[in-house]
Amino acid sequence: MELSGLTIRNFRNLASLDLELPSAGVVVLGDNGQGKTNLLEAMYYLVLFRSLRGAKDRELVRFGEEAFFVGGRANGGAFEVRAGYESAGRRKKISLDGNPVTRISDAVGKILAVSFAPSDRGIVAGPATGRRRYLDVLLSLAEPGYLARLTEMRSALKQRNAALRRGRGDEARAFDEPLASAGARVLEARTRWVERWSPRFGALTAALGERAEARMRYRTHRPPTADARSQFLDLLASHESRDLRRGMTTAGPHRDDLELSLEGRELRMYGSAGQQRTAAIALRLVEAETLRDSAGSPPIALYDDVFAELDEDRQARLLNLIHETLPGQAIVAAPRESEVPASMLDRPRWRVKGGRVAA
């Protein structure tokens, strides 16, 4: 997978860019705050049609403007993805090869990329929300139907919670069925993925130089059995009085966690900063391998200033893994050339300043 052309209008501090990208990718240089990260965020917007950093669409519109636009030509022009957003109507328009898509999920994952950033450590060190989001993004891109089920689960959950806040058990119960049907599929997909990739996560963490054994485990109320739907229905029924008291649905996949551990100790609480950073990189590599396996070709790799914070040994180990897993297009951003590994410098340089890009 590669991005061959990129058009940006009024996205964060990027006013107007029309860029051609070589197959190998580029090295993006520029001081912080000039637009490097925004450029990577704009590229990733074409993957998910949401901000990689969790920002709201209206926050992505350039100051003083009313709309932004990002368009990308992929694989030498084989297909084209465009996304636009207007603040006034809060309207998002997405098209594939010029045809508007009605459901965003139809366009999600047409372009595939994996983004590495120092803030990824927050996935490991932060609250469960970040780890669920990691799983949800990954599965939305890798598994057909996952995003649609997740969206259904969320709408059912919103309705059920609103009913609970109104103190109406009968109304809440009416939404148990759609919540359980969609939720069961979400739960199954998540547990299946974690089971399958946990050993690989351990192997990658080891290959990055971590000596203790790393594992991931999906933490849920009850691991799903053959009939996850009726199991979830039972769970909802048994929690109903508590849910009514709290005014929210207290059990379900929306409360689960992806537990990451080293020698059985949770990385979130007991890992050192270095161990957390290593685990975060391993998560991104597992993500890359998952996407590669589902799409049949490696995703685009976006590196936002990730090499400088690794010591020489880890950097060398990471480069080996990247060479294997992500041999395709790479967009390597850093403040200075000296902070880019030598083996990645064989790409054209772009210099970003004040939202402009000079080749």
Partner 1 sequence: MSVIAELATELAKLPGIGRKTATRLVYHLLKQPAASVERLALALQAVTRSVRACSTCGNLTEQDPCEFCADQRRDAGLVCVVEEASDIDAIERSGEYRGVYHVLGGHLSPLDGIGPDDLRIGSLLHRVGNGAGIREVIVATNPSMEGEVTATYVRGALDGHGVKVTRIALGLPVGGDLEYADGVTIARALSARRDMGG
Which residue in the block uniquely carries the two structure tokens 């080749």?
359
- In terms of CB distance, is 85 or 303 closer to partner 1? 85
Q: Which one among 32, 64, 77, 170 touches partner 1, defined by CB under 8 A?
A: 170
d(CA 326, CA 285): 8
Minimum CB distance to partner 1, residue 219 (Å): 28
Minimum CB distance to partner 1, residue 154 (Å): 11
At a CB cut-off of 8 Å and minimum separation 6, what does 286 contact? 197, 200, 201, 204
- In terms of CB distance, is 172 or 262 closer to partner 1? 172
171 scored as a contact of partner 1 (CB under 8 A): yes
178 scored as a contact of partner 1 (CB under 8 A): yes
Reading the block at residue 218, the tokens are 């999906």
Q: Nearest CA to 103 among 144, 67, 160, 59?
A: 144
163 scored as a contact of partner 1 (CB under 8 A): yes
Degrees (nearest 5) of the Cα angle 163, 55, 3?
125
Which of these ranges, 51-59, 62-70, 115-123, 163-171, lies near partner 1 under the rule CB under 8 A?
163-171
Which of these ranges, 165-173, 185-193, 208-216, 220-228, lies near partner 1 under the rule CB under 8 A?
165-173
Minimum CB distance to partner 1, residue 90 (Å): 11
Q: Which one among 59, 65, 97, 177 touches partner 1, defined by CB under 8 A?
A: 177
- In terms of CB distance, is 209 or 247 closer to partner 1? 247
56 phi and psi angles, rounded to 5 deg: -80, 155
172 scored as a contact of partner 1 (CB under 8 A): yes
85 scored as a contact of partner 1 (CB under 8 A): no
Q: Which one among 56, 133, 166, 222 touches partner 1, defined by CB under 8 A?
A: 166
Q: Is there a contact between 299 and 292 (Cβ–Cβ < 8 Å)?
A: yes
Alpha-carbon separation of residue 36 from 64, 65, 250, 277 (angstroms): 21, 20, 40, 21
d(CA 191, CA 100): 34
87 scored as a contact of partner 1 (CB under 8 A): no
Q: Which one among 106, 152, 188, 257 touches partner 1, defined by CB under 8 A?
A: 152
Degrees (nearest 5) of the Cα angle 300, 278, 267?
125
147 scored as a contact of partner 1 (CB under 8 A): no
d(CA 13, CA 163): 42
Collapsing DSSP states into helix, strand and coil, what is residue 9?
Answer: strand
158 scored as a contact of partner 1 (CB under 8 A): yes
Binding site for partner 1 (CB under 8 A): 88-89, 152, 155-156, 158-160, 162-163, 165-166, 168, 170-172, 174-175, 177-178
